[in-house]
């Protein structure tokens, strides 16, 4: 009933009287008042205008299940939504849910992670207040070797969302670091359960420094990490950004399943800050120096070494060099 009261307030631009709400929803005026009180306690800004009624003026900046369901209505990511205040890692929770049969599109979100995981065994700094930590379950009917394409796909979806919601133009460093002003504000960790010929599920975990204050970053990150708010000069709605990102992801996912990876790679290239650059690529303990020249059909990075040898890397860590 609380959600119905909220939906009714959302659908009105003018104040609605308690009497009208109680008549429309078939509950007592006292019950309406109690639900309004609870919504206010959750952070909804509901003003009561004497003689006119209640008006919804603002929603809380919390990743609440009801809010996400509203913003994601009709999307595959609205099927199963878990929202938490504090977790170890949303990727771990999403994997546990997937193991127990969670549907494709299942979404796990947290305000804060105590054991946020980055790529290559690193940690992901995940403080409360300003970040997005979200993981989704996908069950593509594909082979494990096609999984790296999802990392590129997610980075494109995120770059497009940041441009739309924050009006900023990010760059993507292969495979999936998303940068503003050359500093990283988003990382994507894709994990997989598969057999040789078939993916059971993928978990795509995304960490975004949205309104995070860089002063709160550990010393070791301050030179290389940033947030959307820092670069754009103003706070951004986390819920809107997350919803636009996931809707973009769903669109690109359909493109990948119907047309293969090439159209996704073409989009990726429009955001790329890696191709044409001198790079050091660390992969499997080896460091390879050269120039990044292209993205292979399966999403790998094509690098021409300083000795002229061409190699394709499926994974690794790229450092952009100045020459």
Among positions 85-104, residues that touch ligand BTN (CB under 6 A) are 89-91
Q: How far is the CB of 98 from ligand BTN (least distance, A)?
A: 14
Q: Can residue 125 be called a binding residue for ligand BTN (CB under 6 A)? A: no
Per-residue mark of binding to ligand BTN, 32-71 (x: CB under 6 A): ----------------------------------------
Q: Can residue 150 be called a binding residue for ligand BTN (CB under 6 A)? A: no
Q: Choose the stretch contacting ligand BTN; rule: CB under 6 A; options: 27-35, 151-159, 204-212, 253-261.
A: 204-212
Among positions 104-123, residues that touch ligand BTN (CB under 6 A) are 113, 116-119, 122
Beta-strand relationship, 107-113 and 81-87: parallel
Q: Can residue 135 be called a binding residue for ligand BTN (CB under 6 A)? A: yes
**Which DSSP helix (H) or strand (E) runs through 32?**
helix 29-41
Q: Which residues, in sequence order, are CB contacts of 215 under 8 Å at separation 6+?
A: none
Measured CA to CA in angstroms, residue 209 lies from 68, 112, 126 at distances of 19, 12, 9
Other beta carbons within 10 Å of 17? 16
Contact between 161 and 241 (Cβ < 8 Å): yes
Neighbouring-strand partners of residue 289 = 280
The per-residue DSSP string of 275-288 comes to: TTSEEEEEETTEEE
Per-residue mark of binding to ligand BTN, 156-195 (x: CB under 6 A): ---------------------x---------xxx------
- Rounded Cα distance between 33 and 30, Å, is 5
Minimum CB distance to ligand BTN smaller for 117 or for 229: 117
Q: Which residues, in sequence order, are CB contacts of 239 under 8 Å at separation 6+?
A: 59, 61, 63, 67, 68, 71
Minimum CB distance to ligand BTN smaller for 39 or for 113: 113
Minimum CB distance to ligand BTN smaller for 17 or for 314: 314
Contact between 226 and 50 (Cβ < 8 Å): no
Q: Choose the stretch contacting ligand BTN; rule: CB under 6 A; options: 5-13, 44-52, 199-207, 270-278.
A: 199-207
Q: How far is the CB of 210 from ligand BTN (least distance, A)?
A: 12
Minimum CB distance to ligand BTN smaller for 116 or for 290: 116
Residues forming the site for ligand BTN (CB under 6 A): 89-91, 113, 116-119, 122, 124, 133-135, 177, 187-189, 205-207
């Amino acid at each position: 009933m609380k959600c119905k009261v909220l939906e009714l307030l959302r659908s009105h631009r003018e104040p609605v009287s308690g009497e009208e709400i109680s008549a429309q929803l078939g509950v007592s005026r006292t019950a309406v008042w109690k639900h309004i009180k609870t919504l206010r306690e959750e952070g909804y800004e509901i003003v009561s205008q004497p003689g006119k009624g209640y008006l919804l003026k603002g929603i809380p900046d919390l990743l609440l299940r009801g809010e996400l369901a509203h913003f994601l209505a009709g999307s595959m990511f609205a099927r199963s939504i878990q929202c938490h205040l504090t977790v170890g890692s949303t990727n771990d929770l999403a994997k546990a849910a997937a193991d127990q049969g969670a549907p494709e599109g299942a979404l796990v979100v947290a305000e804060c992670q105590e054991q946020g995981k980055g790529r290559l065994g690193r940690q992901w700094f995940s403080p409360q207040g300003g970040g997005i930590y979200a993981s989704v379950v996908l069950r593509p009917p594909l082979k494990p070797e096609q999984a790296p394409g999802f990392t590129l796909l997610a980075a494109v979806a995120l770059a497009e969302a940041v441009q739309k919601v924050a009006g900023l133009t990010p760059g993507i460093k292969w495979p999936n670091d998303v940068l503003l002003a050359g500093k990283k504000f988003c990382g994507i960790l894709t994990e997989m359960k598969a057999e040789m010929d078939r993916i059971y599920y993928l978990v795509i975990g995304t960490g975004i420094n949205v309104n995070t204050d860089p002063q709160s970053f550990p010393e070791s990150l301050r030179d290389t990490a940033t947030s959307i708010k820092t670069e754009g000069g103003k706070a951004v709605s986390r819920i809107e950004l997350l919803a636009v990102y996931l809707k973009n992801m769903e669109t690109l996912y359909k493109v990948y399943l119907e047309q293969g990876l090439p159209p996704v790679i073409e989009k990726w290239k429009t955001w790329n800050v890696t191709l044409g650059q001198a790079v050091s690529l660390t992969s499997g303990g080896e460091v390879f120096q050269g120039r990044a020249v292209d993205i292979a059909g399966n999403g790998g990075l094509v690098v021409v070494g300083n000795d002229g040898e061409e190699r394709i890397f499926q994974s690794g860590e790229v450092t952009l060099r100045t020459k």
